[in-house]
Amino acid sequence: MFDADTIETDERQGLPSASGMQRLFLCPGSWNAERKCPVDEESDDAALGTYLHDCMQHNRTPEDPEDAEAVAWCREMENALCEKHLGMNESWMEAQTVREARLFEKDRLFSGKPDMVTIWNRKAFVVDYKFGRIPVSPAECNLQLSALAVLVMDEYEAYHVDEVFVCILQPYASRKEPAVCRYTRESVEQARAFFRACIERAQDEHAPLKPSEKACRYCRALSSCPAVSLALVNVTSSDLTAAWEQWSPEKRREAYDLAKLAEKRASIVKSKVKADLEAGVEIPGLALAPGKKAFTITDAAAAFQILNGLFPDAITAQAFTGCCKVGITDLDKLVHSVRKAADAGAKVAESKDWLRKTLAECAEVKISDGSVKEIGGGAA
């Protein structure tokens, strides 16, 4: 169990969270395994997600045009969906909207923090933002949304809410109107019973560990999990050349998922070795290579003026630009800012397409080798 000091600083108060329900269902043993692990440092992708959630919560606009467009799309979609499913129109001021408030299940089974909840006429609309680029499980089979529906109906009982609509907005994965799932009081009670069973199973000290790429994707216990270690040994100890043809498609998919887990474990090992070497720990046969020095021209116009002034006949504008490589990302932002100033309705994707068509004669398109991607929903 958590000690008292830990629970005081944990807003979840030692309870399972809606965001972890998918993992709890897939791998019951992950609950006890994670409780023994320290909180990980926030990755760059997670930090961006936190920042964009904060923009949505406080009605701020990100500086990056693509991020600003994603946030604007979320706001527009929120309004449209509330109007469609709650029957709201000109009466917005009378609705109650709450953002980023942690809610607790009435029997203290679990908690969760909906990104946005709007209450109107005995109905609630719940939105969860996902700012990653991997499509997540759709609303009708997303356990996090199901758990949020339970929490919202409990929290707003005084408003006599008897219908909860839930959806995920993931602007970097899809700009289509999202699927919306409807929960009634009856379906909420069915979901509550399901989560009660999941939590009771997970809190058993003998709860089984069931590693899989989905279950382990965001689990803090990945680097110390004995079940993951055993699964990796089982697949890596096989003679893949001889066994592959005998494996079913399902077995091959299992091997693929385990290979992704192995890559994650390997990256953890590499980061720990680097940290050891930086701290002066000696590891046989390994040393920390010095960082490479990179000389970068930060002001191309000033550089050209200096060199053209020294060698006006040799270093011409054409000769100088022949040495330059255009950063397409920066050029995309520049062109979009110009088009946006001329037309407030200009979209980032439209600006990118316009730029590529306009510069087609002085550019080339290279297509890299295809890569394996997941279909049918990714992270929960």
The answer to whether position 218 is within a domain reads no
Same domain, 114 and 196: yes
The answer to whether position 38 is within a domain reads yes
Same domain, 137 and 261: no
Q: Quote the DSSP letter at residue 322.
A: T
Same domain, 102 and 241: no
- Residues 6 or more apart whose CB falls under 8 angstroms from that of 163 comprise 122, 123, 124, 182, 183, 184
Rounded to whole angstroms, how far apart are CA atoms 67 and 333? 12
Same domain, 33 and 100: yes
The answer to whether position 220 is within a domain reads no
Burial class (CB in 10 A: 0-12, 13-18, 19+), 232: middle
Residue that terminates a domain, selected from 278, 308, 343: 278
Question: Inter-axis angle of helices 185-203 and 143-155, to 10 degrees?
Answer: 120
The answer to whether position 369 is within a domain reads no
Same domain, 22 and 84: yes
Q: Consecutive 10-residue runs of the chain (380 residues): their mean pLDDT?
A: 42 90 93 83 84 94 92 94 84 79 95 95 94 79 93 92 95 91 96 96 93 85 86 76 86 85 86 92 92 90 96 94 90 92 90 94 89 63
323: containing domain:
300-361
Same domain, 155 and 197: yes
Name the domain count of the chain. 3
Instruction: Give me the DSSP letters along 201-240.
Output: HHHSTTPPP---HHHHTT-TTGGG-HHHHHHHHHHHTS-H
Reading the block at residue 190, the tokens are: 């069915």
Query: Which of 119, 121, 160, 126 shows the shortest CA–CA distance to 146?
Result: 126
Quote the pLDDT of residue 11. 86
Percentage of the chain surpassing pLDDT 90? 58
92-146 pLDDT, tens digit each: 566 789 999 999 999 999 999 999 999 998 999 999 999 988 788 776 779 999 9
Instruction: Determine the length of the chain.
Output: 380
Same domain, 319 and 267: no
